[in-house]
Structure 1
Amino acid sequence: MTSLTCLHPTHPLFLYSGPLLCEQPPLTIPSRFYNLPSSPNSVLSSANRPRPLLAPPRAAAKFGSSPARDELASPGDLEFEAPLKIVEYPDPKLRAKNKRIATFDDNLKKLVHEMFDIMYKTDGIGLSAPQVGINVQLMVFNPVGERGEGEEIVLVNPRVSKYSKKLSFFYEGCLSFPGIYADVKRPESVKIDARDINGTRFSVNLSGLPARVFQHEFDHLQGILFFDRMTEEVLDSIREQLQ
């Protein structure tokens, strides 16, 4: 079991020279958990200028619920052309089902590289595959959000095995919702199971900002958007921007 409770500058793959991002024990995650050393970045999203909620939002899954077993992705599902572009709401790809990845090859590694690249270029700290129009269960993120700094994390077919009972609000944005930011309430920590870029299974605990980024991107893989998690009061404050 590995624990990602904070980003610590003593980690061998950690290039960030600034202060700790949280007051937690040092990070000890095997290098296979991170992306290829030669590749750049990943990110969370921001916020968008959508039209009215044209399609009814998918009911947000309750924290702790487990998604049903998903269809496997074919090689064609992972085809893409570089450079990638961010899909913005209300594009239906943001609500579509995302398939599990079963092939861990060079094409997947190239896709991860491209996702990090567009994430950094758009000032993100996390990005999910459906946000670049590819409906598979893949996410990348780097809580520092700078190319060459922090930890680049790749998660394939992630699942949550445990959410903390303690919840907190955080001011979130989304790259698929440029310019829109609002408070979203989420568990403060999660325990997840996933595969790495080579297909190896692992489990990890996330807390603080990494847990927040993961949950935001994990929601994208379930077709859930960040405004689905907002209270009515918060949603009212951004409704005009959404419309």
Structure 2
Amino acid sequence: MAFASCLHSSYLSNTFLPILRHRSALSTSTSHLHRFCSPSRFFSSANRFRLPLMQVQVQAKRGFSFKEEVIASPADLSFEAPLKIVEYPDPILRAKNKLISTFDDNLKKLVDEMFDVMYKTDGIGLSAPQVGINVQLMVFNPVGERGEGEEIVLVNPRVNKYSKKIVLFNEGCLSFPGIYADVERPESVKIDARDITGARFMINLSGLPARVFQHEFDHLQGTLFFDRMTEEVLDSIHANLQDLERKYEDRTGFPSPERIETRKRRKVAAGFGKS
């Protein structure tokens, strides 16, 4: 089943303000929403539907606890522009992604660069490990055009709750160029995160924004979209994954760190799961 999006600008509530980087008025066009973020594109086909209204709650709190998680150092957040997309099977995509505790100009510059590469690669979202930086950070813009819509930044996101309703969509990923296949995910999620200033907030997402978030959140957990596919669906892209493995070996001179033909089923939370 292919994905069709009809998200109207009125669905983007002004209550998003604490987590948005405004660049222009909201676009009323929906033509750009056939692209899916780091999950690079969804294609519209037979089934068209109207996405439900996003329900948003924001709580500006700063007493966020990192518990026993590993905190990113300045070196972990260092980067050189321009950023480049990391492709499967690069081990960076499976590495531990550290929590961010410093909200400074360097983080803002990193976010700017992530948005830049996201737009240049024709996406509507991107996670930090996909550009070689193993930290808990994602960006997205449901409109998918520079200067249109609103840009959302989520730092150290966590899932509090997800819906029982599961939806099947034909999903893609910038780290898997040219590969698209069906993935089941909950229709809505409730999360908490920090914004670019470090303020904590809670938010409910549904429809397209919920799916974008879930795909990107999986990246922050070292989970790739094919980990959530059925064996039948996975078989349909088996040869494409092998092509990427050979491409990695030709480019690096090293053996592929993982191979689809010897893959053991990864344990991932049913549907979506909490972090």
Say whether residues 1:35 and 2:52 are aligned partners: no
Q: 1:69 offset after TM fit, Å?
A: 4.5
Distance 1:25 1:115 in 2: 24
Distance 1:136 1:72 in 2: 9
Give per-residue Cα distances to partners, 1:171-211, cap 9 Å, x unaligned. Answer: 11100000000110000000000000000000000000000
Equivalent in the alignment of 1:212:
211
What code does the residue aligned with 1:140 have? V
Please state whether the residue corresponding to 2:76 is helix, strand or coil: helix
Q: 1:167 to 1:103 in 2, by over 3 A?
A: same
Alignment of 1:148-187 (within 5 A): 148-187=147-186
Equivalent in the alignment of 2:146:
147
Equivalent in the alignment of 1:102:
101
What code does the residue aligned with 2:117 have? I
Question: Is 1:137–1:157's contact at 8 Å kept on the other side of the alignment?
Answer: yes
Give per-residue Cα distances to partners, 1:97-129, cap 9 Å, x unaligned. Answer: 000000000000000000000000000111000
Alignment of 1:118-157 (within 5 A): 118-157=117-156
Equivalent in the alignment of 1:45:
39
Q: 1:128 to 1:46 in 2, by over 3 A?
A: same
Give per-residue Cα distances to partners, 1:23-74, cap 9 Å, x unaligned. Answer: 9866232422113649xxx933339xxxxxxxxxxxxxxxxxxxx8520000
Q: 1:217 to 1:26 in 2, by over 3 A?
A: closer
Distance 2:68 2:218 in 1: 16
Q: Which runs of 5+ in 1 are unaligned?
A: 1-18, 48-67
Equivalent in the alignment of 2:82:
83
Cα RMSD for the two superposed structures: 2.2
Distance 1:25 1:172 in 2: 22
Distance 1:27 1:37 in 2: 15
Please state whether the residue corresponding to 2:75 is helix, strand or coil: helix
Please state whether the residue corresponding to 2:97 is helix, strand or coil: coil
Q: 1:24 to 1:169 in 2, by over 3 A?
A: farther
Distance 1:20 1:188 in 2: 15
Distance 2:197 2:163 in 1: 29
Equivalent in the alignment of 1:191:
190
Distance 2:235 2:105 in 1: 45
Bigger relative contact order (CA 8 A; separation at least 6) = 1
Distance 1:207 1:141 in 2: 15
Distance 1:146 1:23 in 2: 13
Please state whether the residue corresponding to 1:76 is helix, strand or coil: coil
Paired residues in the alignment total 202
Q: 1:143 offset after TM fit, Å?
A: 1.6
Distance 1:22 1:163 in 2: 23
Q: 1:71 to 1:36 in 2, by over 3 A?
A: farther
Q: Which runs of 5+ in 2 are unaligned?
A: 25-35, 42-66, 243-275
Task: Give the TM-score taking structure 2 as reference length.
Answer: 0.69
What code does the residue aligned with 1:130 have? P
Distance 2:170 2:79 in 1: 32
Q: 1:77 offset after TM fit, Å?
A: 0.3
